[in-house]
Structure formats: structure tokens, C-alpha cells
Amino acid sequence: MKRLIRMVLSRTTFVLLLLLAQIILFLFLIDYVSQYRYISTGFYVISVLIVTYLITREENPIYKLSWIIPILIFPLFGGLFYLLYRQRNVSSKVQTIHDEINQSREDYIKPYKTTSHSKESVYLNRQAWPTYQHTKTDFLESGEALFEALLRDLKEAKSYIFMEFFIINKGVMWTQILDILKMKVKEGVEVKVLYDDFGSSTLPYQYKKKLRSYGLEAYSFNPMRIHLNFAMNYRDHRKIVVIDGNVGYTGGINIGDEYINKVSPFGHWQDAGIRLEGRAVWSLLLGFLENWRFTSRKEIDYASYKGTTDIDENDGFVTPFSDTPLDKELSTKNIYLSLINSAKSSICITSPYLIIDNELTTALKFAAKSGIDIRIIIPYIADKKIIFMVTESYVPELMEAGVKVYRYQPGFIHSKMMIVDDQKAMIGTANLDFRSLYLHFENMVYLDRCNSVHEMTDFFNKTIEKSILIKETDQRGMIYRLL
């Protein structure tokens, strides 16, 4: 009940209600002026021209269809609505800033432009995300394990702590972290905190000012505004911590008590992350600094934050990378596709949501029909019932092709992993859904022949033992179980 009350009274709900009022007013005005034949004819002409423009435009087909279909269904006002709210990208000024920031990364990664000779590594290298050796990777198979390790490393910080999260919720987890951050500020450690304004909407309004009063530098990413525009969909879904340039963390874990099972609204919360130490932290750091510069509009001397730790041992190849909706590359999706298509024996996937486009669906089905053992674990208990119903609507088609889909019986699985042939893997923040692959700022780590890949496989197999294989008969009554 308290959770529901907080949600109803949150500033997110307030903004959404105002946006809804805008849409209702827009439709009312359109209905009113459509009584005049010449005006309504003009609206129809606008819709036809917009559809023609979208068909001929070089753009992602899914994005184009998301506009074309509604315009054709509602031709009277669809074209005008597109003109008012089409913002596929942010303003040209913001886009220019973003492009300049991305371009500047090339200068900082030139000394590291090496690859593992895998297709995925070569591709990411072309996107200015190099592959590293001399990096220690530690797979963390729960939010509790990551939190424990993170607290130890935060206490050891000497120079700086940089944190970027989609969600920061007040509670046990944030209180312990914030206490350390305030202590470190007093010791002269530089602390930067970046959080998504929508994802962290339970925080008080202008919470960044509160953090600044403690001596932290803080910004909220893409603040919610009352004016309706498509750019509001661009959320910072990343989870990054970098300490002194030597240690970095990422994974599915946000800052909230459910992630460490201090509260259990959806049964046991199963998450996972990875700790990096050594050279590869540099790319994790660059991902953070780019978003910090993009949000703060402040110039940053990247090189001054470079770490000094170098790991002698070579534990495979590590490629951290960040993804953005403001370029034409779908880096995360492309790596997922490449891994699926290159599989020789097995593909293991965990994802809280499974809302995939035709390309990914076709790739998974083809791999399964080609004899690849594909196992996917999704939650048993839904955190968002409608989205979960959409997730399960994809299951029958995959099952028919031979994909095995499991429900994590203890509760909700939130880890985002793909493991191929126990040799290659991806872990990070991106779900297998439309928003993560097309609309969010995400970050992932691609691993090739690292010990952590074997640890991820072992974790997956242990998790399978706690999960239930979905059978055709399980689909019946699914809606009743959710309601």
C-alpha cells in the first residue's frame, strides 16, 4: 500500500497526468476544427505526406512503423500529431554536443585499439570500444555479493568515486553508500553521482541539490518536463561505478533495497553484475564521463582520471562498451545477434523481459532449429504485469522452434546475461526488450574466454535448477495467474 501511495503522489505521476491533459486537449481541438471540411481535408493531406516522408526516410523500420501505423489508423490527426511530437532525436544543438563527445573518445582509446579477432571485438573496435587484456574480472552472482564488494572498494577510494544509476531509491542500500560518500568527500575524494530523473522519481524534487550540500557533484539525467516530446523516452539505464580509475562495476543492480533482498515485493530478487580491475576500467570510465559531460555541459580532462593499476595476468579479452539511442548504431542488439549467429553448441540467456523484434526472434529460432541448445530464464513473478504478459506472448513461437524457456520460480530474475558455448558472454544493463535496444542509454561488457564466462555458466546452471520449464499446457491460465 505504501508503495502504491508513493507512486500515486510522485512527481512522475503528476507530470504524466499533465502530459495526458495535453493529449486530450489536442484531440479536442482537432475534433472541433475538423467540422470544417477544408481544414479536415488539409489534415488528411498532411497525414499522407508524412507517411510518404517516413517511408522514404533512412530510419530504423521499427521506428517508422511505430508512426506510420497510428497515422494510417487515425489519419485525421495522426500527421499533425507527428509534426508536433515527432522528436526522434533531441535538438540539433544537443545532438551536436553528443556527437562531439563520442568523436573525442577516439583520441583517448587509440593506444588500446586491439581486438581478440572475434567478430564482436572487431565490430566494437570500429565503434571506438577497444578490447583489453591485463584485466581481472569477478562475476558477482547476486545483488548482495555486488553490494558487499562495492562497499569494500568505496571505503578504499583515494582519488575519486563516480556513480551512474537508472534508479536510486532511499533505503538501507543507499543510506550505507551515501554515508561512505559523505565520509570520502571529507577526506578529499572527488565524488560524482549521476541518476536518471525518471528512474529515480521517488527521490525528492531537486534531490541533486541535497547531494551537493554534502559536497558531492550531482546531476539528474534528462529531467522530466511537462512538454510532450519523444526525447522523454531516452532514459539513462546504465549502472556504472568507477573508483580511482582502477576498479569498476556494472550489471543489473540499481540502488534500492529490493536489489539486495532487504524488501521482497516480487519474491526473491535474482540479479548479477561484474567487477573489473585493470586496463578495461578505462572504457567503463569513458562511458561515465561522456554521459556526465553530456548532462553537465562541462568540459572534462578525461586523461586526468585514468587509472594506474595494471594486472599482470591475462584473463581472456574484455570489452566494456556503452550504447546510446542518439547514433545510428544498435551496438547491443548487433552483438546479441552476432553471438546468436556464431553459436556452435549452446546459448544461455537471462532477462527480466523478452520483448524482441523480428531479427532477434528469427535468429533465435534459426539457431534452435539448427541444433543449438537455447535456454532462456525469465521471471516467475511479474514486476510489471502488462509487460510480463507481453514477454510471455513471445514464448510459444520460440518454444515451437525448439527454444527452452524457464520461469525463475523463487521470484523475479533481473540479471541481463547471454553466454555462448561457455566461451563468450555479455553482461550489463540491457534487457532483451525494445526500450533497452532502441531507446535507452545502456552499457555492457563483452567477455571472450575469461574465467568469468565459466562462472556465469555455472551460475546459469544453478539457476536453471530453481526454475520451471514452460510447457505448452503452462500457457493456459497464464492470464488468471497474473491477475
What are the tens digits of pLDDT across the range 250-292? Answer: 999 999 999 999 999 999 999 999 999 999 999 999 999 999 9
In this prediction, residue 111 carries a pLDDT of 67
What CATH number belongs to 92-121+130-320? 3.30.870.10
Using the predicted structure, report yes or no on whether residue 481 has a pLDDT greater than 50.
no
More confident of the two residues 8 and 280 = 280
Do the beta carbons of residue 462 and residue 350 sit within 8 Å?
no
Which three-class secondary structure state does DSSP give residue 461?
A: helix
Helix (H) or strand (E) holding 421: none
In this prediction, residue 43 carries a pLDDT of 74
Using the predicted structure, report yes or no on whether residue 107 has a pLDDT greater than 80.
no
Helix (H) or strand (E) holding 453: helix 451-465
Average pLDDT value over all residues in the chain: 87
**Catalytic amino acids?**
237, 239, 244, 414, 416, 421
What are the structural domain ranges in the chain? Answer: 2-85, 92-121+130-320, 331-482
Q: Region 408-432: what's the mean pLDDT?
A: 98
In the chain, the percentage of residues whose pLDDT exceeds 90 is 61
Q: How confident is the model at residue 382 (pLDDT cuts 50, 70, 90)?
A: confident
Q: Region 417-429: what's the mean pLDDT?
A: 98
In this prediction, residue 480 carries a pLDDT of 39
In this prediction, residue 64 carries a pLDDT of 75
More confident of the two residues 111 and 303 = 303
Instruction: Return all residues near 260 (Cβ < 8 A) that are at least 6 apart.
Output: 143, 144, 147, 172, 173, 253
Q: What is the DSSP letter of 312?
A: -
Closest CA to 428 of 265, 163, 238, 219: 238
Do the beta carbons of residue 291 and residue 236 sit within 8 Å?
yes
In this prediction, residue 281 carries a pLDDT of 97
More confident of the two residues 230 and 165 = 165
More confident of the two residues 321 and 44 = 321
As a whole number of angstroms, the distance between CA 249 and CA 445 comes to 10
In this prediction, residue 194 carries a pLDDT of 98
What CATH number belongs to 331-482? 3.30.870.10
As a whole number of angstroms, the distance between CA 403 and CA 370 comes to 11
> In the numeric block, which cell numbers belong to residue 280?
578495461
As a whole number of angstroms, the distance between CA 29 and CA 112 comes to 57
Using the predicted structure, report yes or no on whether residue 169 has a pLDDT greater than 70.
yes
In this prediction, residue 99 carries a pLDDT of 75
Q: Region 345-353: what's the mean pLDDT?
A: 98
What are the tens digits of pLDDT across the range 11-46? Answer: 666 666 766 776 676 667 666 666 777 777 877 788
More confident of the two residues 193 and 66 = 193
In the chain, the percentage of residues whose pLDDT exceeds 70 is 84
In this prediction, residue 103 carries a pLDDT of 73
Main-chain dihedrals φ then ψ at residue 266, nearest 5 degrees: -130, 40
As a whole number of angstroms, the distance between CA 425 and CA 419 comes to 4
Using the predicted structure, report yes or no on whether residue 448 has a pLDDT greater than 70.
yes
**What is the DSSP pairing of strand 373-379 with strand 404-408?**
parallel
Q: How confident is the model at residue 132 (pLDDT cuts 50, 70, 90)?
A: very high
How far out from the chain centre does Cα 215 lie? 29
Q: Region 132-157: what's the mean pLDDT?
A: 97
In this prediction, residue 45 carries a pLDDT of 83
Q: Region 414-424: what's the mean pLDDT?
A: 98
More confident of the two residues 21 and 177 = 177
pTM over 0.85: yes
In this prediction, residue 403 carries a pLDDT of 98
Q: Region 427-452: what's the mean pLDDT?
A: 95
> In the numeric block, which cell numbers belong to residue 284?
567503463
As a whole number of angstroms, the distance between CA 417 and CA 348 comes to 8
Instruction: Return all residues near 14 (Cβ < 8 A) that are at least 6 apart.
Output: none
Pick the range with the lowest mean pLDDT from 19-28, 198-207, 219-228.
Answer: 19-28
Q: What is the DSSP letter of 259?
A: G
Q: How confident is the model at residue 228 (pLDDT cuts 50, 70, 90)?
A: low
What are the tens digits of pLDDT across the range 37-91? Answer: 777 787 778 888 888 888 887 766 666 777 787 788 777 767 777 776 665 555 5
Using the predicted structure, report yes or no on whether residue 102 has a pLDDT greater than 90.
no
Q: Region 329-347: what's the mean pLDDT?
A: 97
Same fold, 92-121+130-320 and 331-482: yes
In this prediction, residue 476 carries a pLDDT of 43
